């Protein structure tokens, strides 16, 4: 069957229903195919008689992953996916979610990779409404397209640091400007990077408690041309240098370079970057937390189904962009760290 249009996929699915074959569905970007992709798709195929795979279009990929992606165009990506022995049908789609795909195909089983429960997936009620089943693949750490790209380019919007352990740990998702460092509009000069009081100590506490430390930051100044990606990297280097005095290691730094008008899934409060972290690190979602000074940070935590803490530093939640209640409000980053530790649930 190979590469088809979504309409053709819908007709193939109807024929499969008449013949009583179980249809599975999944989707992805599949920018640079690697072993993790193959093992996941083989697992998905083992759950059904026919596996349908939707591949994100180039524009959809850019909205989710940033303006440097994809590396490979969607015509090539979908052809490669269709060529795998475990894939029966492949097509390209342009939406930012799978709701249209699921509505059109009504697969018997919807397969999803990553650290999710079916209850946390927004598409789960749609699948279950017609009697379908949601299955979550076993987590497979250590494989990432982004890591491959980092190695090839020698740079990325993600600061790659030592490989994480395979055991699940909670993550502290942390805003940068106004949360870790003093709020400076369009911060891009290393000399203006100043840690806020008790940030180093707070990060130390989170690190000792076993949290991954993951910075998630909106930087629209890149997209509108106020400063370059290189300026952003230089600013982060200064931040990491200052944190080294506290023996703190940041596990990942994710950036969205877009403005609100771009309507991209990687810009907070959307969860594109948080979702990416869950695919790249073995994160314990239940014990994770989002810490920030703006309502968009809190809303991002809510959207990602993790607890949130609002800091009185920076804008202190007075930006008024979203009407959302944090799970906790504190005056300093150290207080946030101590609060997050009290929420840890032991096995």
Whole-number pLDDT of residue 107: 97
Distance CA 248, CA 194 (A): 16
Whole-number pLDDT of residue 165: 44
Let me know: does 50 contact 22? Beta carbons within 8 Å.
Answer: yes
Whole-number pLDDT of residue 117: 52
Whole-number pLDDT of residue 121: 66
- As given in the structure block, the two tokens for residue 114 are 């990553």
Whole-number pLDDT of residue 67: 65
Q: Which letter, b or e, does each residue of 271-304 get, where b requires 16 or more Cβ atoms within 10 Å of its Cβ? A: bbbbbbbbbbbbbbbebbbbbbbbbbbbbbbbbb
Q: Indicate the SS3 state at residue 225.
A: coil
Whole-number pLDDT of residue 212: 97
Whole-number pLDDT of residue 318: 96
Whole-number pLDDT of residue 142: 55
* Total count of residues recorded for the chain: 347
**CA distance to 181, 294, 331, per residue, from 198 (Å):** 11, 19, 10
- What is the model's pTM? 0.58
Whole-number pLDDT of residue 60: 87
Distance CA 60, CA 307 (A): 28
Whole-number pLDDT of residue 156: 39
**pLDDT (tens digit, 0 to 9) for every residue of the chain, 347 residues total?**
799 999 999 999 999 999 999 999 999 999 888 888 999 999 999 999 999 999 999 988 887 776 677 889 999 999 999 999 999 999 999 998 899 999 999 999 999 876 455 555 668 889 999 999 999 887 555 566 666 665 565 433 444 444 444 578 999 999 999 999 999 999 999 999 999 999 999 999 999 999 999 999 999 999 888 999 899 999 999 999 999 999 999 999 999 998 887 778 889 999 999 999 998 899 999 999 999 999 999 999 999 999 999 999 999 999 999 999 999 999 999 999 999 999 997 54
Whole-number pLDDT of residue 161: 44
Whole-number pLDDT of residue 264: 83
H-run or E-run covering 273 = helix 272-280
Distance CA 186, CA 308 (A): 24
Whole-number pLDDT of residue 136: 86
Whole-number pLDDT of residue 62: 80
Domains observed in the chain: 2-136 (3.40.50.620), 145-342 (3.40.50.1000)
């Amino acid at each position: 069957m190979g590469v088809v249009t979504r309409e053709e996929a819908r007709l193939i699915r109807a024929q499969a229903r008449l013949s009583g074959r179980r249809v599975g569905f999944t989707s992805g970007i599949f920018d640079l195919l690697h072993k993790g992709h193959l093992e996941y798709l083989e697992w998905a195929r083992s759950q059904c008689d026919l596996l349908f795979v939707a591949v994100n279009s180039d524009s959809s990929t850019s909205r989710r992953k940033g303006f440097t992606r994809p590396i490979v165009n969607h015509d090539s990506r979908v052809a490669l996916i269709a060529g795998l022995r475990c894939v029966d049908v492949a097509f390209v789609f342009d939406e930012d979610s799978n709701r249209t795909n699921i509505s059109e195909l009504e697969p018997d089983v919807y397969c999803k990779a990553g650290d999710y429960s079916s209850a946390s997936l927004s598409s789960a009620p749609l699948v279950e409404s017609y009697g379908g089943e949601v299955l979550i693949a076993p987590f497979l750490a250590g494989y990432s397209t982004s890591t491959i790209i980092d190695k090839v380019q020698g740079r990325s919007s993600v600061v790659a640091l030592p490989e994480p352990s395979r055991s699940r740990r909670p993550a502290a998702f942390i805003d940068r400007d106004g949360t870790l460092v003093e709020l400076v509009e369009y911060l891009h000069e290393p000399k203006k990077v100043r840690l806020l009081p008790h940030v180093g100590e707070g990060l130390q506490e989170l690190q000792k408690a076993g949290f991954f430390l993951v910075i998630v930051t909106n930087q629209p100044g890149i997209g509108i041309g106020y400063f370059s990606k290189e300026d952003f990297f230089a600013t982060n280097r200064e931040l990491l240098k200052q944190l080294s005095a506290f023996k703190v290691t940041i596990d990942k730094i994710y950036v969205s370079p877009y403005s609100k008008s771009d309507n991209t899934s990687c810009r907070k409060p959307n969860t594109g970057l948080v979702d990416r972290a869950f695919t790249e690190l073995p994160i314990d979602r239940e014990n994770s937390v989002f810490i920030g000074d703006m309502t968009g940070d809190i809303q991002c935590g809510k959207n990602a189904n993790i607890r949130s803490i609002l800091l009185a530093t920076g804008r202190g939640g007075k930006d008024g962009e979203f009407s959302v209640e944090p799970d906790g409000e504190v005056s300093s980053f150290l207080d946030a760290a101590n609060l997050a530790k009290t929420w840890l649930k032991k096995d």
